[in-house]
């Protein structure tokens, strides 16, 4: 597990002149699959996944892998006003934290939405009101998890482990719609969201 995808990370980071280690802050509402995403990325049950209404992450937890990548898993929002206020403060503090050189500690914010949910309000508000005002939009990746569940679990090709053409088309539409909605709400342009299924790795 410790050397999982190490060669890929090393090559991409050197090719693109990325800082080492790369520090990524995962943000999203409770239940969007932040912990599942970490586990899918590294092919191992590293982050404990919460099920049902009980979130697993209550504070920002750090996961460091092979010296090239650190993931900071923030607490999910949507569990009550008081908890959300504290979690939002923790996220802003992490985004604004500087290292000795004066550069930001966090290199990328990875904002996860849930494809299977019609209500993306909590994460969308977090993105618009908390993330984008505190980090350059070029350093934000918006990701749509649970792509396999967008059509209630149908049209996911289990043999090839990817969406079929009908689902792929719908995912593309959703990604473009989210990108436009962010632009209309903030005046900022983020890259077109990526989509994936952490459950299917």
List pLDDT tens digits, range 40-67: 887 777 776 654 444 444 578 888 877 7
Predicted local confidence at residue 56, as pLDDT: 47
List pLDDT tens digits, range 2-45: 566 678 878 888 898 888 889 999 999 888 999 899 888 877 77
Residues 6+ apart with CB under 8 A from 37: 26, 110, 112, 143, 145, 198
- Average pLDDT of the residues in 71-78: 90
Strands across the sheet containing 108-114: 61-65, 69-73, 22-28, 108-114, 140-145, 194-195
**Is 32 buried (19+), middle (13-18) or exposed (0-12) by CB count in 10 A?**
buried
Distance CA 76, CA 165 (A): 32
List pLDDT tens digits, range 174-189: 999 999 999 998 999 9
Predicted local confidence at residue 193, as pLDDT: 96
pTM given for the model: 0.86
Residue 117 binned pLDDT confidence (cut-offs 50, 70, 90): confident
Please give the share of the chain, as a percent, with pLDDT higher than 70: 91
């Amino acid at each position: 597990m410790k050397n999982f995808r190490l060669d890929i990370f090393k090559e991409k980071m050197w090719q693109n002149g990325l800082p080492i280690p790369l520090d990524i802050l995962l943000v999203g509402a409770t239940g969007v699959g932040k912990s599942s995403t970490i586990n899918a990325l590294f092919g191992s049950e590293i982050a404990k996944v919460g099920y049902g209404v009980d979130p697993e992450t209550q504070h920002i937890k750090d996961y460091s892998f092979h010296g090239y990548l650190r993931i900071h898993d923030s607490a999910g929002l949507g569990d009550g006003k008081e908890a959300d206020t504290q979690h939002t403060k923790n996220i802003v503090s992490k985004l604004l934290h500087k290292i000795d050189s004066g550069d930001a500690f966090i290199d990328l914010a990875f904002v996860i939405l849930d494809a299977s949910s019609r209500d993306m309000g909590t994460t969308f508000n977090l993105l618009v009101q908390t993330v984008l005002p505190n980090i350059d939009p070029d350093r934000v990746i918006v990701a749509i998890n649970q792509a396999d569940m967008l059509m209630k679990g149908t049209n996911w090709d289990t043999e090839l482990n990817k969406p079929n053409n009908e689902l792929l088309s719908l995912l593309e539409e959703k990604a473009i719609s989210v990108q436009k909605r962010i632009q209309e709400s903030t005046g900022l342009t983020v890259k077109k969201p990526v989509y994936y299924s952490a459950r299917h790795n």
